Homo-oligomer: A and B are copies of this chain.
Amino acid sequence: MESADDETLPARLRTTPSWLLFFTAAQAQRLMWAGMALLDVRRYHYALLAALEEFGPSSQAALGRRVGIDRSDVVAAINELVEQGLVDRTLDATDRRRNTITITAAGRRHLQRLDEMLAGVQEEFLAPLSTEERGKLMQLLTRVFDHHARG
Listed in ascending order, the chain A residues whose CB lies under 8 Å from chain B are 2, 6-18, 20-29, 31-32, 47, 50-51, 53-55, 62, 65-68, 115, 118, 121-122, 125-129, 133-134, 136-138, 140-149
Contacts and interface: CB of A to CB of B under 8 A. Distances in A.
Given A24-B141, A136-B140, A50 B10 contact: yes
Given A67-B10, A115-B12, A24 B145 contact: yes
Nearest to A146: B128
Given A10-B66, A17-B126, 13 more contacts: A6-B65, A7-B65, A17-B28, A17-B138, A18-B28, A18-B32, A18-B118, A20-B141, A21-B24, A27-B145, A127-B147, A137-B137, A137-B144
A138 B22 contact: no
Q: How many copies does the complex hold?
A: 2
| A interface SS class | helix
B18 A122 contact: yes
Contact of A16 (B14, B16, B118): B118
